[in-house]
Amino acid sequence: MFAFDEPIISSMPILLGIWVAVGFGLIACQPRQGSAGLPLAYFLGLSLIHVPGALLYFDSAETDSLAIVSKSGFEQTITGMVAFLIGVLVARYTISRTPVIAPDVKRAPAGLLSNIARSDRISKLYIVLGFFVSFGVMRFAGGIPSVAAILSSLGSLMIVGICLRIWVAREEHKPTKAWSALALALLLPLGTTVQGGFIGFGTYWLLVICCFFFARSNHRIRYILAAPVVAFVGLSIFVNYAAARDDFRRLVWVEQVGIGDRFARIAQMIEQFEWLDLSKYEHRRAIDLRLNQNSFVGLAVERLRSKQVDYALGSTPGNIVLALIPRVLWPDKPVVGGGGTIVADFTGLKLAEGTSFGAGQVLEFFANFGAVGVIVGFFLYGMCFGHLDFRVSKHLQTGDQRRLLLSFLVSLSLLQPGGNLLEITVSVVTSILVAYGLGGLLRQYWRRGVLVRSSAD
């Protein structure tokens, strides 16, 4: 489509080396008192569905067609991540240059101490409300049109609450409180698996919380050194989950067994636990099917460049306007293309019914405008995350709970690396409505906590 929209197909080791460099670049531009770790959380979330698949073909022969497709897709991912890093840097050092207050609780004025105490109470409210919605209300009302989006945003309060509690613990110099909040976060993948048979939702939530914890830490080196071990354990858990997933979902969706039987099935999975072994066909297949988004992107790139299918030229974002009209107001609203439709249209694959396949930002940006779409799209995405990350950190320090919640919820809505732009936009709009709705309910309570209000707002 464009002059430089031709295949390069760098070697996989080089591409993975660039990916590591981008990761360290994002860490380097996260000051400890001026970041909530959100750009890094998005980077790791995107890595989760691209990097394991790239590792499968680390040393594959150049004639391997599957390796060529995966390399082509991963190449676009790396291009997007470099543009994302540049966008974060631009936002942080141009738009968001206002210094963030870094209070020390040992010599903090009474107002700051009051902000910390109030934030601690609000964190508990968010955790309880988010937990109740995610693991209670969602079970019974999640299928109602337009209600699921609102409940999803309310459920995200749990993530905001845990991060807020970690911040309070950091300001109070109480590491035990921070570690207890992180321990609660570690249970989230288990909770979403038991609740609905999906480990992905809880994993992305955990990534956000861990990145927030990391951003506020004074011991980053030790966590970076531990990252390969954590990644190995995480992938081992995934391949075991993938082996038991269909059986477990049958128990949850079809037989609708009780919580006890669900935990019993998980206990059985633990008894049969296997460590990741890429020489095993079952393990490689599990990763290739669910953690190798590169194959989808690579197939789409191949079909678009060979003119087997036309570029969307903005038609997929164009469906967003239609999607924003609630189905409760328009019951006969036409079905607009979701992630699965985009994947099928541009890859030519026939996808199994009942299985969700998210398009992801790499595929959707490329499907619309080729490599230019990937570069511009991820640059803008990086600017959004860079600015929102700054705002979350600033509002933590100033005690502006209303703006903090708004910025955090919008960030969580954008943090869907495997989602499509239509769903993400709907989620962003819903998050804004929820944030302002809670702002009206808790206005007086929040107002008493504001210490500093920047004229930049």
Tokens of 416: 């869907």
67: Cα within 13 Å, side-chain hemisphere:
14
Cβ neighbours of residue 31 closer than 8 Å, sequence gap 6 or more = 100
Residue 143 pLDDT more than 90?
no
What average pLDDT does this structure show over 208-214? 96
Query: For residue 454, what pLDDT is reported?
Result: 38
Query: For residue 328, what pLDDT is reported?
Result: 59
Query: For residue 340, what pLDDT is reported?
Result: 52
**At 333, is the pLDDT very low, low, confident or very high (cuts 50, 70, 90)?**
low
Among 26-30, 143-147, 386-390, top mean pLDDT goes to: 386-390
Other CB atoms within 10 A of residue 65 CB: 9
The shares of helix, strand and coil residues in the chain, as percent rounded to the nearest 5, are: 70, 0, 30
416: Cα within 13 Å, side-chain hemisphere:
24
Query: For residue 332, what pLDDT is reported?
Result: 64
Q: Output the average pLDDT for the chain.
A: 86
Q: Alpha-carbon distance 309 to 304, whole Å?
A: 5
Residue 442 vs residue 208, higher pLDDT? 208
Q: Alpha-carbon distance 391 to 393, whole Å?
A: 5
Residue 338 pLDDT more than 70?
no
**At 149, is the pLDDT very low, low, confident or very high (cuts 50, 70, 90)?**
confident
Query: For residue 139, what pLDDT is reported?
Result: 80
Query: For residue 107, what pLDDT is reported?
Result: 45
CB crowding 406-438: b at 16 or more within 10 Å, else e: bbbbbbbbbbbbbbbbbbbbbbbbbbeebbeeb
Query: For residue 19, what pLDDT is reported?
Result: 97
Least confident of 6-10, 50-54, 287-291: 6-10
Query: For residue 34, what pLDDT is reported?
Result: 80
pLDDT tens-place string over residues 124-135: 999 999 999 999
**At 371, is the pLDDT very low, low, confident or very high (cuts 50, 70, 90)?**
very high
Residue 142 pLDDT more than 70?
no
What average pLDDT does this structure show over 399-421? 93
Is there a contact between 390 and 183 (Cβ–Cβ < 8 Å)? Answer: no
CB crowding 15-26: b at 16 or more within 10 Å, else e: bbebbeebbebb
Residue 319 vs residue 245, higher pLDDT? 245
Query: For residue 323, what pLDDT is reported?
Result: 64
Is there a contact between 165 and 181 (Cβ–Cβ < 8 Å)? Answer: yes
What average pLDDT does this structure show over 105-116? 61
Other CB atoms within 10 A of residue 371 CB: 21
Residue 368 pLDDT more than 80?
yes
Query: For residue 320, what pLDDT is reported?
Result: 66
Is there a contact between 368 and 376 (Cβ–Cβ < 8 Å)? Answer: no
Residue 96 vs residue 433, higher pLDDT? 433
pLDDT tens-place string over residues 177-203: 999 999 999 999 999 999 889 999 999
Q: Alpha-carbon distance 168 to 183, whole Å?
A: 16
* Eight-state DSSP code of residue 352: P
Query: For residue 203, what pLDDT is reported?
Result: 96
Q: What are phi and psi of 232, to 5 degrees?
A: -65, -45
Q: Alpha-carbon distance 156 to 407, whole Å?
A: 12
Q: What percent of the chain has pLDDT over 90?
A: 63
Residue type, 353: E
Q: What percent of the chain has pLDDT over 70?
A: 82
Query: For residue 319, what pLDDT is reported?
Result: 66
Which residue has 């299918």 as its token pair?
309
Query: For residue 96, what pLDDT is reported?
Result: 61
Residue 447 pLDDT more than 70?
no
Query: For residue 138, what pLDDT is reported?
Result: 86
Residue 83 vs residue 334, higher pLDDT? 83
**At 450, is the pLDDT very low, low, confident or very high (cuts 50, 70, 90)?**
very low
